[in-house]
Chain A
Amino acid sequence: MIVFLQSLLSGVLVGGVYALIGIGLTIIFGVMRIINFAHGDLLMVGMYLTFFIFTLLGIDPFLSILVSIPLMFLLGAFLQKVFINRVLNALPQNQILLTIGLGLVMSNTAMLLFTSDYRILTTSYSSGSVSLGGLSISTPLLLSFLITAAITAFLYWFLLKTDIGQAIRATAQDRDAAQLMGINVKRMSVLATGLGAALAGTAGALISPTYYIYPQVGSAFTLKAFVIVVLGGMGSIIGATMGGIIIGVTESLAAVTPFIGSGLKEAVVFLLFLLVLLFRPAGLLGKSRM
């Protein structure tokens, strides 16, 4: 029982960070209908930013997001303005090629600059834990979950209550109609990409105290983010939040299920993914376009 609860708990906590990665991807997709295959690499950039802010300036990884969020936002906005904007009306395969290419450029630049060495952040709380009725909760994971929750709550408020948020959502719902209503959809696209990049960077910052950093770290997360977003329904923020937690919990519980174990936990995730798509082709909360 304690093993089950422990796994459930760490699954939810890890899932929170997954959700953050998924939300970034889903916002970009929602507004521009472009799947950002460089998402994991943006996360990698966020991780390196955190690493250097920590090792060179001595700023705590969790505090460093105050610096990395604006920087990552600018990077995202720059990528949108200079590259992605040009392929908005291009064929989908060209859009995919562009984002994959951007990702490759980022990861290979990182390899040139920082070599392929693994880097590990060691903070005073890296392996710390709080115990609660026999369960132990990882301190860095708990902190990152709380920050994720706060950021997600803020994001919901921003998207639901503010004018800009509503404009972003309107663009996501129907780009043409939004434009007819006087919304500057170009600006919304820049904002959305910036926001998506900032969220990916934040997720990178939040996992770096408990994970390791290397230039190719992104690809695994791109795939994960993609699964989360499709599972929850493309473009749906609530869906991405749910998707992230579901994936986190599934991975964690699969690892402790007899006969499955940690070597096969990813297979279970993809099995679940296939099942969801079989019965709900548009994802859990997605609106079918049929």
Chain B
Amino acid sequence: MQKRIASMLAALLVPALAAAAPVKIGIINSMTGPQAPIGESLTNGMKLAEEDLKAKGIDLQLVWEDDTGKPQVGLSAVEKLASRDNVVGIVGAYTSAVTNAVAKKANDYKVPLVNPVASKEEITRQGYKYVFRVSATTEDYAAILLDMANSLGKAASIAILNENTDFGVSGAKSAKAIAEKRGIKVVFEEAYSPGSPDYRSTLSKVKAASPELVFMVSYVADAILLMRQSREIGLSPKAFLGAGAGFSTDKFASEQEISNAVFSSTQWTPSASWPGAKEFGDRYQKRFGKVPPYHAANAYAALMVMADAASKAGGDREKLAANLRAGKWDGIFGEVKFQDFDGYQGQNKHQMLVEQVQAGKFVTVWPQKFANGKAIYPFPGWKK
């Protein structure tokens, strides 16, 4: 009896809901745990997107889930969002490790997933039909840095040091492939386990290999630790190249003693010439008191794209996926279009940038078209 009443009520309610058309979207992000400092930037970016979408008249309902930086927690978040909250689509997650797990699950549930900023190549290379990625891939991270280094002076050798997470390993693999293609000899290559208090022995091995470029892939705190210890042991190559993440945070830049002249690949800066980028930067700064890192812009763009496509899908997941596949968006993140190419599916081709820390501030130095400053090269050495 109860069931029948419920189904009758549901039958009455469904058309009413369709008329109001709320757009219910799930969000998976690292809100606590070791990745929380960057997760916070994603949250902030999405909050700004939420305001803009509501201002546009879209009745947006966000369901926030915290993955605590762990893939298994991300998986249960997908299950909850897909079956209990019944969201039309999901935006997330932050790290590559979590996203890799979440993407598979979302694809199994046929819930469209738009990923903001995880860059492990394989995520969009597994034939998933419901996974779309705004973020550039680690291949792009490495390529843009090496292109920039080549433009400043042909480098002969490179050392690659990465943490042994999905993002780190993928980043190192791409860097190696691209370095070999450009004729730069890889003289050192190693994965370290994050969270160790002492990287000095590894770094002295790097020093002994005397590479001209040192390429590192690390999250928040290790980036600072690695650079501090590089200074201690006097590792001084022609350039330090950081693959985004830990190297492009405000905290890193504010450690002037060790961050000066370090390059980092980034997906976005407020000075990029995309429509609204500068305004977004100012608004973010005013609201949260920080210069937005690229993670915030990625998250903003991902939610804008998802909500726009979802508002035209009327709660239908298949229709949403079709909208995402067919659509094209332009905004603070440049053009976003999900394409199939080179073995990728649903992957956005994004223009990467290179920034450099100069006196505690990030300056965009490459490509020329987007640059707002000149690169310091070679690395000026450590101040004693």
Chain A residues proximal to chain B, CB less than 8 Å: 2-3, 6-7, 10-11, 14, 111, 115-118, 120, 122, 126-129, 131, 136, 138-139, 207, 210-212, 214, 216, 220, 248, 251-253, 255-256, 261-263, 265-266
If the complex has contacts A116-B36, A262-B193, are A11 and B201 also in contact, measured as CB distance less than 8 A? yes
In the complex, what residues of A have CB within 8 A of residue B224's CB? 120, 212
Is B350 an interface position by the 8 A CB rule? no
Cβ contacts under 8 Å, A211 to chain B:
197, 225
- Knowing A116-B32, A212-B224, the reply to whether A262 touches B201 (Cβ < 8 A) is yes
Given A122-B255, A127-B232, residue A252 in contact with residue B33 (CB < 8 A)? no
Say yes or no for B228: interface residue by CB 8 A criterion.
yes
State whether B232 touches A136 (Cβ < 8 A): yes
Separation of A6 and B201 alpha carbons in the complex (Å)? 7
Q: Which residues of chain A have C-beta atoms less than 8 A from B83's C-beta?
A: none
**Closest residue on chain B to residue A216 by CB atoms:** B34
Chain A residue nearest to B192 in the complex (CB): A262
**What's the nearest-Cβ distance from chain B to residue A50, in Å?**
15
- Scan B203-240; emit 1 where CB is below 8 A from any A CB, else 0: 01101100000000000110011011101111000000
Residue of B nearest to A261 (CB): B190
A263 touches B204 (CB 8 A): no
**Least CB separation from B31: chain A residue:** A116
Which of B34, B190, B197, B220 is close to A210, meaning CB atoms less than 8 Å apart? B197
Closest to B163 in A: A263
**A220–B34 CA distance with the chains assembled, in angstroms:** 13
Nearest B residue to A266 by beta-carbon distance?
B193
Closest to B382 in A: A127
Q: Are A118 and B220 in contact (CB under 8 A)?
A: yes
Query: Considering the chains assembled together, what is the distance between the CA atoms of A139 and B190 in angstroms?
Result: 26
Asked whether, in the complex, the Cβ of A129 is within 8 Å of the Cβ of B251, the reply is no
Given A6, A127, A220, which contacts B257 in the complex, CB threshold below 8 Å? A127
| Tally of chain B residues near chain A (CB < 8 A) | 37
B153 within 8 A of A: no
User: Would you call A118 and B201 a contact (CB within 8 A)?
Assistant: no
A-B contact pairs, 6 of them (CB 8 A): A116-B36, A118-B220, A136-B234, A212-B225, A256-B205, A262-B193
Are B204 and A138 in touch, CB under 8 angstroms? no
Q: Are A118 and B221 interface neighbours, CB within 8 A?
A: yes
Asked if A118 and B234 sit within 8 Å, CB to CB, the answer is no
Q: Which residues of B contact A (CB under 8 A)?
A: 32-34, 36-37, 164, 190-193, 195-202, 204-205, 207-208, 220-221, 224-225, 227-229, 231-234, 251, 255, 257-258
In the complex, which residues of chain B have a beta carbon less than 8 angstroms from the beta carbon of A129? 231-234
Contact of A120 among B32, B197, B221 (CB under 8 A): B221
Docked-complex contact A117 and B37, CB < 8 angstroms: yes
3 shortest interchain CB distances as A-B pairs: A7-B201, A127-B228, A262-B192
Q: Give the residues in chain A near B33, CB-CB below 8 Å.
A: 116
Q: Given A6-B200, A10-B201, A255-B201, check contact A118 B232 (CB 8 Å).
A: no
Whether A252 touches B200, Cβ cut-off 8 Å, given contacts A220-B195, A262-B193, A263-B190, is yes
Complex interface: chain B residues within 8 A of A263 (CB)? 164, 190-193
Q: How far is the CB of A270 from chain B (nearest CB, A)?
A: 13
> Measured between C-beta atoms, what is the minimum distance from A109 to chain B in Å?
14
Q: Which residues of A contact B220 (CB under 8 A)?
A: 118
Residue among B208, B224, B232 having the largest count of chain A Cβ atoms under 10 Å: B232
Q: Contacts of B232 on A, CB cut-off 8 Å?
A: 127-129, 136, 138-139
Distance in angstroms from A125 CB to nearest chain B CB is 10
The residue in chain B whose Cβ has the minimal distance to the Cβ of A115 is B36
Contacting residues, chain B, for A6 (C-beta < 8 A):
200-201, 204, 233
Shortest distance between the CB of B70 and any CB in chain A (Å): 12
> How far apart are A115's CB and chain B's nearest CB, in angstroms?
7
